[in-house]
Amino acid sequence: MISSGFEAWTHVRELSVRGYVEVLRHLPRLLALRRSLRRRLLAAPPAIFVGVDAPDFNLGLEEQLRASGIRVVHYVSPSIWAWRSERIHQIRRAVDRMLLVFPFEQRIYDAAGIPATYVGHPLANMIPMVPDALAARTRLGLETSGPLVAVLPGSRADEVQHLGSTFLMAMERLRDRDPTIRFALPAADATLKARLARMLAAHPELSAVLTITDGRSHDVLEAADVVLVASGTATLEAALYKRPMVIAYKMPALSAWLMRRKGRIPYVGLPNILAGEQLVPELLQEQATPAALADAVLAQLSDPRRRELLAQRFSEIHQSLQRDTVGLVAQTILDEMRR
């Protein structure tokens, strides 16, 4: 948005925090930011406010804006179908219309009597239905033959902190068991790349088989045979590229315990949630050991029949998420402005 000419009052990285306990030290700053934004919007009311994701930040702001007479559209529903279902009541107060990115969400909002429109997932139109691994490897300057594992430990600093070393140790085990394996790791930004480089210093034997890229996560996913990935949107991206994957996640124990207590479904990975079954392994918290991750990745690499089945199921998911997303979002916002 910035490169397209939007004026950025505050960079979105200011909201890049997660968990319960971890957010406490950021809370004063986040609340001050929200108060400042509210004052600015109430002083010069917009025709419409579009909150994009970030529900913990946006919903409270949207409640106040809507109460003052500003129309509100929220893009990307909170995961009320997975956890914290009680937020549906705040959503009812906060938004005039919710824009949904998953088809099963429509019935939840219809049952709650909250205006909502399924617009498809923007990634489904950005990612090709039939990926080309050879072309992606060529673009990245990687070897075109031999197994390649994409490694995505997360896009936030604390995710990399909790998973980075575990992933690197898993990569060591994979290299020991199959010296032909190569790895590609896309760093979300320069700060994370520097952090990963410091972690890699403790694993010098990986330097010959690991390529760290500046971003380009889609190229890395398209190039890979299997993906080792932190739970999050990247799991959906991997599925849209029809790639087998192993999903892992670690966070501080107290936050993990609180999230499990509020959980409503048995999966955390979006491919498994959308399929309604565990298509790919999920190794969370104490299960996410280097040995377990390496075993799971090797199992995916050595089972071509399973890879073929996953590609078929992921294609079905891909098709279900394809809509004229840009057109639907734009038209829905215009319709709400006219109301």
Predicted confidence at residue 263, as pLDDT, reads 53
H or E stretch covering 307: helix 304-321
The string of pLDDT tens digits covering residues 295-316 is 999 999 999 999 999 999 999 9
Fold of 133-321: Rossmann fold (3.40.50)
Distance CA 282, CA 248 (A): 6
End-to-end, the C-alpha distance of the chain in Å comes to 26
Distance CA 166, CA 155 (A): 16
The model's pTM is 0.86
Q: Is 148 in contact with 224 (CB distance < 8 Å)?
A: yes
Residues in the chain: 339
Q: Is 149 in contact with 170 (CB distance < 8 Å)?
A: no
Taking Cα atoms as reference points, which of 127, 130, 131, 122 lies closest to residue 321?
Answer: 122
Predicted confidence at residue 150, as pLDDT, reads 98
Predicted confidence at residue 289, as pLDDT, reads 95
Predicted confidence at residue 85, as pLDDT, reads 85
Q: For the chain, list the strands marked E by DSSP.
A: 49-52, 72-75, 97-100, 116-118, 148-152, 182-187, 210-214, 226-230, 245-249, 282-284
H or E stretch covering 216: none
Mean pLDDT in consecutive groups of 10 residues from the start of the chain, 339 residues: 93 73 76 95 97 94 97 95 86 98 95 97 96 97 96 80 88 96 92 86 92 95 97 95 94 55 70 93 91 97 95 97 97 95
Cβ contacts of 128 within 8 Å, gap of 6 or more: none
Predicted confidence at residue 60, as pLDDT, reads 95
Q: Is 121 in contact with 100 (CB distance < 8 Å)?
A: no
Predicted confidence at residue 125, as pLDDT, reads 96
Distance CA 170, CA 163 (A): 10
Taking the C-alpha atoms of 184, 213, 199 and 206 in order, what is their torsion angle to the nearest 10 degrees? 40
Taking Cα atoms as reference points, which of 189, 190, 198 lies closest to residue 164?
Answer: 198
Taking the C-alpha atoms of 122, 125, 313 and 290 in order, what is their torsion angle to the nearest 10 degrees? -60
Predicted confidence at residue 22, as pLDDT, reads 61
Q: Enter the tokens of residue 38.
A: 């509210």
Predicted confidence at residue 295, as pLDDT, reads 98
Domain with CATH 3.40.50.2000 in the chain: 133-321
| SS3 of residue 259 by DSSP | helix
